[in-house]
Structure 1
Amino acid sequence: MAAPYHDLYENHFANIRCSRATFLAFLNYTATATAGSPVPALKKLSADLQAAATALGGAVVTREGQGATGQALTRSKKDVLRAMRVFVQDTHAVQLVPAYRQQPGKLKELLPQGLMHLTDANATDLPVRFEAFAQALTAHAADLGAAPGTTAAGLLAELTAASAAKDAGLKVAKETIGSIGGQWAQATQLLWQTHCTALGALWEHPEQAYLYFNYGLLPNRNPGRDKAAKVPAATA
């Protein structure tokens, strides 16, 4: 029998089960997050993470060029909606609050009805509300940069594709990423290295290490508890 805490010392990234496109989005998030890290050891890992994401991105594009096989790699509509909620939480905590801490009126322009108007929206209302949020992010690009608006627009486009795939009866192809081998397995090892490095550097505030990984992009480990993941705000 394994020790009670044995699984805490296993590379949980190798056991992620999702589509290759979903894993690529997860990997890209960590590559971007580490690139802007104030922790030198984490920032140093960003180049390898980005190189892995670029290589795997080419593999996904190649598969998508194979017709229906590529379409099956689309994230499900449910997963995209969940990713939208997490994106709103992330953007609010990491970018909007710091940028507009002294300008509450500006924050109100982006979220006129508050954060929960988006995060608690049902599947019917969320796309419409998220589109308005995406437009507001683009309008505030001078303060926030172009990335938030671009990412939001990408999620809207992905939702359209996922909805079409659902209507066509296509299923999301899920695989255990570590078992694919090759560059996919190597990417899970890089993520584990990032995880361990973050915990080592931020051991006094481990919740800050969590911010380098967008687990909200991944399918729930407990399907029976389908709630939007809450992204903790960074602790000073």
Structure 2
Amino acid sequence: MSTFALIHGAGVGGGWFWHLIEAELRALGHTTIAPTLWTGDDTDTLSDYADAVVNLIDTSDELFVVAHSFGGFTAPLVAERVPTAGLVYVTAMVPRPGESPADWWENTGFPEAVRSQAAKDGGLTGASDPYVGYFHDVPKQLADQVEGKEPSPPSNTAYYEPWPLDAHPATPARYIVCTEDRLFPAAFQRQLAYDRLGVTADELRSGHCPALSRPAELAAMLNSYTS
């Protein structure tokens, strides 16, 4: 069996975001860790977030590091520090060396991708209402809990610092496109995975928060990556 280190993004309730996935993976015999990384300390760096994950990893099992959204800036730092069997991006930001999270949006063409998709779907993509843009396919009783679970936002230090690696780790990488995502359009994700990781992405019919909207399906996909 495997250990999954699950790294949350923004606006989804911190480590709580993964609680349904953890239950699914543990039922399959796996081990999970899913810390809430952001402490409210504005001096925290991306490397500090990676340290918080690494410090919880205490296993000889094969390790998979899974990133959601903004967690894509932290996950490769973890995979660079500990032996890792697989690095999985779930509708996640994929950084380039020296690129800050703040610069990622323009560098990837994200604004134009959103404008283009919004023109096709009547403005659903990019909607400011989180129940439309983030949680449209999440059960409301779960979506209603997110605000109370959400930690302080990532630090300004982490958001504006250059990503510290010179290259992506050699760890085998996969990308899961969420085809109904209204934050990161599916076509944008597919191109991002190909351009930055050199992979053809796997696909899951879900919005931006599959750990809440499609936990069984996402857990099954993660399980399929294990040996």
Q: TM-score, normalized by length of structure 2? A: 0.28
Higher radius of gyration, 1 or 2: 1
Q: TM-score, normalized by length of structure 1? A: 0.28
Higher relative contact order (CA 8 A, sep 6+): 1
**Greater strand proportion:** 2
**Greater helix proportion:** 1
